[in-house]
Structure 1
Amino acid sequence: MTSKVVQAFRKILGTLRWLGIVSVFLFESIRAQPPAGYYETAHGLTGSDLMAALHQIIDDHTSIPYGSTDEVMRVIDEDQQNPNNLELIYSDFSMDKQLIGSSGSNAWNREHLWPRSARAEWTTPIFTIFGLPTRP
């Protein structure tokens, strides 16, 4: 192929990828609306009062130690087509839940919601279960 054809092809792929990403965020934002009245206690507040109200809204979460996240992931990332497997977020593969490992193609590893390379601050944990969307 000529370089112009390759460039055009890459541009089309880039546009399709961008449209796909936008679609995911659009549909997730529609689906992920908070329950009615969820932020009612924070409405109209500013500054430290707003921060305190928001903290009060979210402070009843459950903390899970990093060493236990694989147990949680076996539930929240379960493959809907095969309950013995889980869906790997970044690779889009389905793999046996019991094959946890640190490397290689025959094992799965914890995948982070936000990659280390995209972090601006290194003082807070890089993982969270709270922010993961539920699977359909």
Structure 2
Amino acid sequence: MSVHQRGIKPALSADTEALTKAPPAPTYLAAHAKAEWKRIFPQLIARRILTRADLAGVEAYCSAVGICRQIEEQRAGGLIDPKLFGVWNRAAQTARQLASEYGLTPTSRARIGLAGPVAPEEDDDPLNV
């Protein structure tokens, strides 16, 4: 008999092929997307859950966040286009879903046991056995 766990995501854990340093942001990303890339990568590297195979998903997350921020800038500048709200809404939903995949939301961090901020490991810590 098989056990179905619909709707239950497996716990994230350190990967043996995890990236140890952040790759540069792709040149084709917009400015807001590059800023998000630089903001989240220290957390992702410290958690050791991200591999080269995950980079496309992280790019998509950063692009979605960048789209939301760009539309917000335009809206704050006085441009109100009802069509842009639909684009913003889909980008925000995509960003939220992808953020959850990579442990970038409070709920997903709790699922992997990281309630507080993650500090990078220090090699010279004498108590680190």
Q: TM-score, normalised by structure 2?
A: 0.25
Larger Rg: 1
Q: TM-score, normalised by structure 1?
A: 0.24
Q: Which has the higher helix share?
A: 2
Of the two structures, which has the highest relative contact order with CA contacts closer than 8 Å and spacing of 6 or more?
Answer: 2
